Amino acid sequence: MSRWRTVQPWLGTAARMGLAAVWLYAGATKVGDLAASGRAVNAYRVMPYELARVIGAALPFVEIALGVLLLLGLATRLVAGVSAALLLVFIAGIASAWVRGLAIDCGCFGTGGELPAGQSPSYGPELLRDLGFLLLAAFLLGCPRTRLSVDSFLDRR
């Protein structure tokens, strides 16, 4: 048990930094073209176009905010919960597109949207990747105490 108490904060730190990198990269790849991000959200065909545009434009900023908070280790459990919820939405969206036979790029790390005729989507690897990210968020939900974080500094006060 004492070994776990020594190792867990460092595993949590690795999970936190990994998930922070994912969110920061995902947001950074979309923030330069918010219209394309909106088109990518619209490609899922689950909401009206105008709402998809707004969500697509806001999403990169949400992802960057989650990444910065995780990088700092601030409100780690809360941010892990929001991350898990967002990842579940992404997983449901990808699965829905797959089941409905849509040929789209998920837009997870770039512009996304409809794929050219004849190009096949890669839904299986995308779902597995997002499930891996979800495991990182779940770990942080259960074990939010990590090293090198604002949370650990505030806990000592």
pTM of the model: 0.94
13's tokens: 């730190």
Encode the chain (157 residues) as per-residue pLDDT tens digits.
689 899 999 999 999 999 999 999 999 999 999 999 999 999 999 999 999 999 999 999 999 999 999 999 999 999 999 999 999 999 999 999 999 999 999 999 987 889 998 899 999 999 999 999 999 999 999 999 999 999 988 887 6
If DSSP codes are grouped into helix, strand and coil, which group holds residue 105?
strand
Find the farthest-apart pair of alpha carbons in the chain and give their distance in angstroms, rounded: 59
Domain ranges across the chain: 11-151
